Amino acid sequence: MAKYVFVTGGVLSSLGKGILAASITKLLRQGGVKAVSMKVDPYLNCDAGTLNPFEHGEVFVTRDGFECDLDVGNYERFSNEFAVKEQNLMMGSVYKTVIERERRGEYLGKTIQLIPHATNEVKARIRNCAKATEAEVLVVEIGGTVGDIESEVVLEAARQMNFEEPPEAVTFVHLALVPTITTGEVKTKPMQHSVKSLLARGITPNFIVARSPKMIAEPVKEKLSLFCNVRPENVFCSPDAVTIYEVPMLLEKQGMHERLSERMDLKLRKLDLKEWSGLVDRLKKCAITEKKVRIGVIGKYATSKDTYMSVFEALNHASAHAGVCVEADLVDSEEIEKHGIGALKDYHGILVPGGFGGRGIEGKIAAIQYAREKDVPYLGICYGLQLAIVESARNVLGWKDANSSENDETTKHAVIDLLPEQRSVTEKGGTMRLGAYDVAIVKGTGAHKLYGSEKISKRFRHRYEINPEFIPDLEKAGWVFSGKDPKREIMKVGELTGHAYFMGSQYHPEFDSRLETPEPMFLGFVSAAAKRA
């Protein structure tokens, strides 16, 4: 029977509940326990596919094709295990299921209420996740902040599970802000009020974690213990860290895994974080290294790096293994359209990540042209490959109207287009390629050198493809299509000959990158950029 750790947050959002949940999972897994992370989002969306990246950040895709919260990406990177769709629950799907059952008459005429109907569905989904993943311990991150109206049903479901499961089977870990004010004094009042709010919902935290700029002193821990009704040895701190991958080590030094094992009656072997610690040390040394390998990530959602979280993490992973310090900046493609490519001259590598739609694409195409003509290492991901094809069609083949039919349905040179069988589908969701698919790698190509295999499996999230009609012309322009669909002539990897490093993929390699094993396409890109630094 699975056991459950519920991670809640207080005071404000974006404190790092996802990193805390992933770190707890990491420690338990290193101790020999099959721990798995799950995210319950209180939003009324059914999945993350339609969420605006400006507001919500990156849409992460599981191998089984679910568009989910970016925290699931952190779960994968910390556990080094592929996630499944059951590991992200958005409350919109709960309410949708309850209403559909009511319409079918499954509730036999009962009045439908949040309690018990919605809470029962939440509990069933959580238990189903534990079953689907065969978790011994399921670490459930509850999104939002205690006190948010959207989270009430989820917290109530967790409260009920605390009484339905055996005494040692449910543990509550509460993360909240413990700030330091301008006088240098550490203030515990925000945490106190946050715990009080949690208690008002019938939940008593077993552990509290202070999110603070630096490690809190023992007197502060004692005060938190006294006023939050938590034993002193169960008060922990998550201070600011140079890298998120340091958090499991910080918690391990405080003995959190030992206290969890005592509380939940778990048998943990001695933790071995030697490899992880070594890689973290490399990242920390990189942060103070004078020589930087500067990468420009050209994006249209340029308000926060969270929009392209997996891309920036993949660059960090490659950095640790290439032995260089990557300093990656998010560059607004619309600013390039307004002010030109001058700002790109400081970068040793150019990366264009995935995206949709026509806004900002001319800035991306200008950056791609700069990288191609100046022999600057280039990596294009999904839309980044498609726009590189558009750039070559315009500036090498001379087709000035070349474009994706997504952005210009009238162009005579739709080098990026829907496949014939997709054009008859009326709903956009029906044309989306989502999840993991096989890719056949051509021997003797740069892609084959990177992957060392003739077959790989990668994750996709796109609608449009490189138009097969124009492949011969693109090959004359220097393109080598080194990765293809195994069953049809659909191009999945492209690279330019005679260039230091110019490669793009239709799939999203960043989703598969790990601190222990960087994704080959990113490692090759960073290594090529380092030669220019």
pLDDT 10s digits, 232-281? 999 999 999 999 999 999 999 999 999 999 999 999 999 999 999 999 99
Condensed to tens digits (0 to 9), the pLDDT of residues 370-429 reads 999 999 999 999 999 999 999 999 999 999 999 999 999 999 999 999 987 666 654 554
- Domain map (residue ranges) of the chain: 3-278, 289-530
**Cα distances (angstroms) measured from residue 523 to each of 25, 58, 278, 311, 315:** 27, 21, 18, 12, 8
Own/partner pairs, 445-451, CB within 8 angstroms, 24+ separation: 445/480, 445/482, 445/495, 446/480, 446/482, 446/495, 446/501, 446/503, 446/524, 447/482, 447/483, 447/493, 447/495, 447/503, 447/521, 448/482, 450/520, 450/521, 450/523, 450/524, 451/520
Domains 3-278 and 289-530 alike in fold: yes
Choose the catalytic residue: 117, 348, 462, 508: 508
- In the prediction, which pLDDT does 423 show? 65
Q: How far apart are CA 307 and CA 529, in angstroms?
A: 23
289-530: CATH number: 3.40.50.880
CATH T-level topology, domain 3-278:
Rossmann fold (3.40.50)
Mean pLDDT of the chain: 94
What's residue 425's pLDDT?
57
* Ranges of residues in the chain whose predicted pLDDT is under 70: 290, 421-431
- Return the pLDDT at 360: 87
Give pLDDT, residue 452.
Answer: 97
Whole-number pLDDT of residue 98: 97
Which tokens hold the place of 378? Answer: 């280039």
The active-site residue out of 76, 382, 465, 495 is 382
228 is catalytic: no
pLDDT at residue 302 in the model: 74
E-only strand ranges, 358-490: 378-381, 403-404, 414-417, 433-441, 455-462, 465-466, 479-484
pLDDT at 290: 67
Does the annotation count 510 as an active-site position?
Answer: yes
| Active-site entry in 136, 465, 510, 519 | 510
